[in-house]
Structure 1
Amino acid sequence: MNSSALSYLKLGLIAFVAVFLTDICCSRQVWSAENEQQRPNILLIVADDLGYSDLGCFGGEIETPHLDSLAAKGVRLTQFYNTGRCCPSRGSLMTGQYPHRIGLGHMTRNLNQRGYQGHIADEAITIAQILQRGGYRTFLSGKWHLGTEDPTKLGFEEFYGTLVSAKTFWDVNHFTRLPASRATHTYPKGEFYGTDAVTDYAIDFMHMGRRTPDQPWFLYLAYNAPHFPLHAPKEDILKYADRYHIGWDQVRKQRLARMKSLGIVPQNTKLSPRSRYWDWGESESRVNPAWDSLPTDRRGDLARRMAIFAAMVDRMDRNIGRVLTSLRQNNELENTLIIFTSDNGACAEWDPHGFDIKSSRNNTLYWGNQLDKMGGPDTHHSVGSGWANASNTPWRLYKHYNHEGGIASPGIVHWPAQVQQTGTIRSNPAHIIDIAPTLLEAAQVSYPSQWDGHATLPLPGQSLMPLVKGQKQTARTLYFEHQGNRALREGRWKLSALRGEPWELYDISQDRTELNNLAQQYPDLTKQMAQKWNVWAKENFVLPFPKDYRIDYLAPLAK
């Protein structure tokens, strides 16, 4: 071949390669554009201290029409689990990891152990960071409480809310806007209310996301409600003022009947006895009293506490309605993945009477005209263990514990573009660690094997999408621990234990209220499951347990 022919051949090859690469690039651009249009917006809504049966769609008497509508057109998860406490659950939500693995095995106090650092570990990556790198806009409105001072350094473009647990719903200065240079809303004096404001900014953030229509958005809407202090507008409280004078015993019975009617629990479900509670700093438990055994003035005080709690849930639901209206008005509801849950079961702190002023033994008895002051800016109440027991109907115990009352949450998934099982109920076990892989699957973003040059931790959870679509599930084991309370869920069996007490074994398929302890009947199974929990606990920095949690409310274990 002469040099001239060789030159023409080279030019031809170059032209062919250029056309071929152009075709590849164009096809990738076309695929990306089509793919971007298919990717959903993502709205993750989390309530704080909401009990398993508080929502109408889970059997409660509180009016929650907007969440009920999501359930009626989506999927309810009736065996959806959390970690038993707010900070650990939120850490798991954000990272897809068990909480001790990322240093949040307890709360935000550093206990100088790998699993109890009191802040999200430096090597952890958040779902917001991954989605942001995958092309999503990312926003957070509400509660952060992961031991760090700035969520915008962990994947969120914009933040409004509380960096710690809410101390008040009435003081605008308790809420923070980040980056600090951003403009803020101005509220007339006396018209600020935290749940409303968190929603105002959530809607602002959705508007921001719409300014870049080629990018979907992720909004983490993390309400403080109905966490104490019990604060609500007076008109909302009055709506429920007469509803709870029947007391927690009757409310529990009524809720269980509705739960059976809705299919939330099986027809053979038994109501657990009134639960034990541990007062501030006490090692010995007592049992919640019968409602009718309480003095008249005490019943009036407690009925008003629960009325305020209900008002907070009602107000949260109406604000969720505002968010849904914004989605509908912008034709986004069809292709927005919405997940709703609670970070733990209802809160018993610390006894049947609840506390006042601050979390402690303090209690103020309100009666007569004093009841009208409750829930206002100058008050600070909790609902107490009796009503928390009712909120967690029909389960035992509450937040802090790993029996069902502490770790069972209502779960709702709504995504009309992909989930067509309208009003379906799924009773397969799932866990809050499953939310991260679910969001990644929906967003079509791969979980990275490396992040900024470092290997990432594998995700222990699995996507909820096969579950909500009714596909066959693989067998799995779920693990729990908080303050020495611990559990393991595997198939029909659940191992549960209180701090310092031996393991209990329950057949959840027949006895989810954990009434019939089978540990002595099946000692080998109990031992086998306990060993499996120990392996997990060592691998995930749960063990050794801290010798001192540095908190006054937790009594030291007897030596």
Structure 2
Amino acid sequence: MPTPKLAFISRCLISAICLVLPLLFQIDNLQAAKRPNILLIVADDLGYSDLGCFGGEIETPQLDSLAAEGVRLTQFYNTGRCCPSRGSIMTGQYPHRVGLGHMTRNLNQRGYQGHIADEAITIAQILKQGGYRTFLSGKWHLGTEDPTRHGFEEFYGTLVSAKTFWDVDHFTRLPTTRDTHTYPRGEFYGTDALGDYAIDFMRMGRQNPEQPWFLYLAFNAPHFPLHAPKEEIHKYADRYHIGWDQIREQRLARMKKLGIVPPETKLSPRSRYWDWGEAEARVNPAWDSLPTDRRGDLARRMAIFAAMVDRLDQNVGRVLTSLRQNNELENTLIIFTSDNGACFEWDPFGFDIRSSRNNTLYWGDQIERMGGPDTHHSVGSGWANASNTPWRLYKHYNHEGGIASPGIVHWPAQLKQSGKIISTPAHIIDIVPTLLEAAEVEYPQTWNNQPTIPLVGRSLLPLLKGEPQPERTLYFEHQGNRAIREGRWKMSAVRGEPWELYDVSRDRTELNDLSAQQPERVQQLSKKWNRWAQENFVLPFPQDYRIDYLAPLKPPQAQ
């Protein structure tokens, strides 16, 4: 029998437990009910295999940590070009449907208006109406002059494609009445500034702890011009002298080890490229066939590219540190991807001065100037081919090298599958429905008294939680390059060339064209693509894209 003293202590403990347990359950329920903050991170021209967690040799520990604690999507698709992809990311629509089938030049066709359509509604507008604070630090590039008219409370970044990472005047703060950071002379770097303002905006979002926030962190790195701090470039100065052929082989080996691609995946041959204004394709050369000076120049270009990715990752780390310090990481939904595959423009040697046929061969002491404020380089098609290992082609095209992006999703409060790799096909049109489901916000049926365009994507949350997904059909087009993906089958075509058919369950590198063996399947999928293209204002293709780098088709509408 317990003593009276022990009995009294036991009764006190039971009473305390009875009081505390409901409070603990109440706290858990409040945490579960609290809507997440949302951090959407988009890189610019990042290749499929550039990140460490996707097989690359570039040091990206921050993004790698998100992948290790979250989920990697290995068949996550984009539209093949920056403006169209960013239009899809913002609206959940195929880009032509919202006027962004090409870039920001108006081609006087509904699908090619060159700006986000007046009737389109952005994720920022919807979330803002649903009670979220909304912020954008980074690249807009949707053909309009003020993202704050599209749902964002605060904006800092570039309204167009990147022209420089060194000039503070290239970046804009909106509304214009807001205070801006002051940077000492020579210490401004665009990627770091985007990190600065992202942290500022999160601080604003914490002013009301009961109100969640949405931050779109839209980097313009590693898009050309190749600009990076010298200390970052020197970290990679010796890494790329082995050349793109060995880098491709090494990356594929790591990708297989990580489970990014199946063990039987074959490396595609060196890709074709189309030089500025030329209709005939050439093939990237073998690295060992190049002269010594040219290899030195190209190795430094890739070192600068890697430095830009590294610095992007460091700024992601600064943002993650801010989340951790404020106990927000657990219930922040983070999605990371790239807007298209790596950029080939326009040949294996890249360009200099401006986007054109200009190329400068740097050698000897000139190498140290590369990447500084008075230079302007691109990385070229040979290294872009390596960035997109093991796929064919690049940005602009709808083969896997153009439309396959690394995808990372991290949300510890809801996704308990650390390090999981998901190979089910998904698309950036799925980002809007995913964010809306997570935020518990309904997609509006009307906007400004007009019916909204129905969403065509699907929320990724059931997929991320392991629920089986029905097969779907995904569609692509840019500058006459086109593709359709349905289950295990994918048809791809380069502008002016016939459809190619691939069984991507066995041949995702698109090496074994089955179109001649399965003409009925080609016809069936072609009809589906044409129906989609008509419904989404893709067709007719513009007769003139009004750009010098694209050679005219002969005949212009070859299908």
Q: Scaled by the length of structure 2, what TM-score is found?
A: 0.94
Residue 379 (str. 1) matches residue 375 (str. 2) = yes
Distance 1:495 1:100 in 2: 20
Post-superposition offset of 1:502: 0.3
Post-superposition offset of 1:469: 1.1
Aligned counterpart, 1:78 = 74
Residue 440 (str. 1) matches residue 436 (str. 2) = yes
Q: What SS does the aligned partner of 1:297 have? A: helix
Residue 514 (str. 1) matches residue 510 (str. 2) = yes
Q: What SS does the aligned partner of 1:131 have? A: helix
- Pick from 280, 285, 302 the counterpart of residue 289 of structure 1: 285
1:392-431 superposed matches below 5 A: 392-431=388-427
Distance 2:448 2:271 in 1: 48
Post-superposition offset of 1:470: 1.2
Residue 347 (str. 1) matches residue 343 (str. 2) = yes
Aligned counterpart, 1:6 = none
Alpha-carbon deviations, 1:288-342, whole Å to 9, x = none? 0000000000000000000000000000000100000000000000000000000
Q: Is the 8 A contact 1:142 1:160 kept in 2?
A: yes
Q: Is the 8 A contact 1:37 1:214 kept in 2?
A: no
- Pick from 114, 118, 123 the counterpart of residue 118 of structure 1: 114
Distance 1:60 1:132 in 2: 37
Residue 187 (str. 1) matches residue 183 (str. 2) = yes
Distance 1:277 1:190 in 2: 37
Residue 552 (str. 1) matches residue 536 (str. 2) = no
Alpha-carbon deviations, 1:480-516, whole Å to 9, x = none? 0000000000000001000000000000000000000
Post-superposition offset of 1:36: 9.3
Post-superposition offset of 1:34: 4.8
Distance 1:38 1:213 in 2: 10
1:531 partner letter: K
1:165 partner letter: S
Post-superposition offset of 1:35: 8.5
- Pick from 13, 31, 38 the counterpart of residue 42 of structure 1: 38
Q: What SS does the aligned partner of 2:490 have? A: strand
Alpha-carbon deviations, 1:344-395, whole Å to 9, x = none? 0000000000000000000000000000000000000000000000000000
Residue 335 (str. 1) matches residue 335 (str. 2) = no
1:93-492 superposed matches below 5 A: 93-492=89-488
Residue 66 (str. 1) matches residue 66 (str. 2) = no
Distance 2:417 2:440 in 1: 22
2:434 partner letter: T
Residue 56 (str. 1) matches residue 52 (str. 2) = yes
2:513 partner letter: N
Q: Following superposition, which runs of at least 4 residues in structure 1 exceed 4 angstroms of deviation?
A: 33-37
Q: Is the 8 A contact 1:36 1:216 kept in 2?
A: no
2:312 partner letter: M
Distance 1:99 1:217 in 2: 26
Q: Is the 8 A contact 1:36 1:215 kept in 2?
A: no
Q: What SS does the aligned partner of 1:188 have? A: coil
Q: What SS does the aligned partner of 1:225 have? A: coil
Q: Is the 8 A contact 1:160 1:176 kept in 2?
A: yes
Post-superposition offset of 1:468: 1.2
User: Structure 1: 5+ residue runs without aligned partners?
Assistant: 1-29
User: Structure 2: 5+ residue runs without aligned partners?
Assistant: 1-25
Report the RMSD for the aligned CA atoms in angstroms. Answer: 1.1
Aligned counterpart, 1:540 = 536
Distance 2:463 2:300 in 1: 40
Distance 2:449 2:349 in 1: 53
Distance 1:132 1:111 in 2: 32
Post-superposition offset of 1:451: 1.1
Distance 2:280 2:116 in 1: 33
Post-superposition offset of 1:177: 0.0
Q: What SS does the aligned partner of 1:494 have? A: strand
Range that drifts further, 398-407 or 448-457: 448-457
Distance 2:466 2:231 in 1: 42
Structure 2 vs 1, CA of residues 36 and 132 (structure 1 numbering), >3 Å: closer, same or farther? farther
Distance 2:31 2:148 in 1: 27
Alpha-carbon deviations, 1:250-289, whole Å to 9, x = none? 0000000000000000000000000000000000000000
1:223 partner letter: F
Aligned counterpart, 2:21 = none
1:277 partner letter: Y
Distance 2:300 2:182 in 1: 31
Distance 1:34 1:372 in 2: 56
Distance 2:93 2:100 in 1: 10
Post-superposition offset of 1:227: 0.1
Distance 1:320 1:451 in 2: 34
Q: Scaled by the length of structure 1, what TM-score is found?
A: 0.94
2:161 partner letter: S
Structure 2 vs 1, CA of residues 449 and 34 (structure 1 numbering), >3 Å: closer, same or farther? farther
Aligned counterpart, 1:23 = none
Distance 1:95 1:160 in 2: 20
Q: Is the 8 A contact 1:36 1:214 kept in 2?
A: no
2:428 partner letter: I
Structure 2 vs 1, CA of residues 36 and 103 (structure 1 numbering), >3 Å: closer, same or farther? farther
